[in-house]
Amino acid sequence: MKGSNTHPRSTPKEHINTGTSSNRSGGGPASGIRYLDLFSGCGGFRLALEQAGVQIDNSVHCEINKFADRVYRYHYPESRNLGDIQNVRAAEVIAQLTGSPDLITFGWPCTNNCKAGKCEGQRRDLPSGLIHEAMRLISELQPQFWIAENVENLLSVKEGFDIIETFQLFSSIPAGSVEYNVEMQVFDSVHYTGQSRRRTYFVGYIREGCPGQIFPILPENKYHIQEGDSTQGQPSYTIVARRGLSGVCEKDNLVFEGARGFRGLTAKECEILQGMPPDYTLWGVHEKKEKKVKMSDSQRFQMLGNTITIPIVVKIVKKLIEVFSEL
């Protein structure tokens, strides 16, 4: 480790502590983690931590989309939204969490990395360039662990330059900070749900005292879909953050209903394809009126196209728990 960490922090065994995972479930206040959820959306990473059995004592999140944040606040009312990541300062996070976070998660904007965009890369003036802000906070806050996600096309943007730059950002934390081991793996959601969705995941953890590696994680058996669940019994194509003529997915992704023909996927079906509980995105809490509000289908489709596939992150977190329980 380079330098010293002056922020309040728990002992290593407490960094990933299992038990009752959410205040919603009546979890005790004594032994959980401090958690920062960047680009939090509707709470996909937080939900995955909950399903993996991680107990969270204090949490804050950053999200600028008011509709996604309404859903987040509905499920996790104890978490404060710090807003635009560009305006978030380490001191504010530490004050809210009463210490530096043990875990940071983020799926930074893929707008300039995905095939549907212009593949412009991750310049600081572009949405995908907000990865620099995430790494600024990691450098300043020095969490024990972090998990990140982006599209698979990140590997080939600008002829591979961006993935090299990404690894340089991840592994070149400024001098005086801690040193991190960084690992990467591409996962396909088809092995976990009925959706074909390839995404690149990264894990970072403090190098000192590391007991082993996290990746590779072998895929589960391919998810089999019965006829009637998707087009001609095949997996769903990738759910995207917009609604097209044929529903919410690319390449005429329809549901076959026998004599009734084809129809577009519903928001509830998209939730299931992302590994979320049905109707997870149906309700939110209004940020000003503090009242329960129903989310429109268009708002739900956008959230679901932008979120992670929950079972994949559950597998990653459980592997972290397995490896670092040896500390």
pLDDT attached to residue 240: 59
pLDDT attached to residue 250: 40
Q: Which amino acid is at 247?
A: G
Crossing angle (nearest 10°) for helices 297-306 and 66-75? 80
| Cα separation, 25 vs 42, whole angstroms | 19
pLDDT attached to residue 185: 96
- What are the tens digits of pLDDT across the range 233-246? 556 656 655 444 33
Which alpha helices (DSSP H) does the chain contain, by range? Answer: 44-51, 66-75, 90-97, 131-141, 161-171, 267-273, 297-306, 310-324
Q: Cα dist. 273→20, 217, 230, 255 in Å?
A: 25, 20, 11, 13
Q: Does residue 95 lie in a domain region?
A: yes
Q: Does residue 254 lie in a domain region?
A: no
pLDDT attached to residue 254: 56
Q: Does residue 296 lie in a domain region?
A: no
Q: Does residue 5 lie in a domain region?
A: no
Q: What CATH number is given to the structural domain containing 117?
A: 3.40.50.150
Q: Does residue 274 lie in a domain region?
A: no
pLDDT attached to residue 56: 97
Q: Does residue 58 lie in a domain region?
A: yes
pLDDT attached to residue 34: 97
313: domain range? 12-220+307-324
pLDDT attached to residue 187: 95
Domain count of the fold of the chain: 1
pLDDT attached to residue 23: 36
Q: Per the structure block, which two tokens stand in for 229?
A: 């669940």
Q: Per the structure block, which two tokens stand in for 230?
A: 């998707």
Please say whether the beta carbons of 239 and 249 come within 8 A. yes
pLDDT attached to residue 246: 35
pLDDT attached to residue 258: 58
Q: Does residue 265 lie in a domain region?
A: no
What is the mean pLDDT for each group of 10 consecutive residues in the chain (327 residues)? 39 47 38 94 98 96 97 97 97 97 93 70 79 93 94 83 82 69 93 88 87 88 49 56 41 55 81 94 94 95 94 96 75
pLDDT attached to residue 46: 98
pLDDT attached to residue 327: 36
Q: Does residue 225 lie in a domain region?
A: no
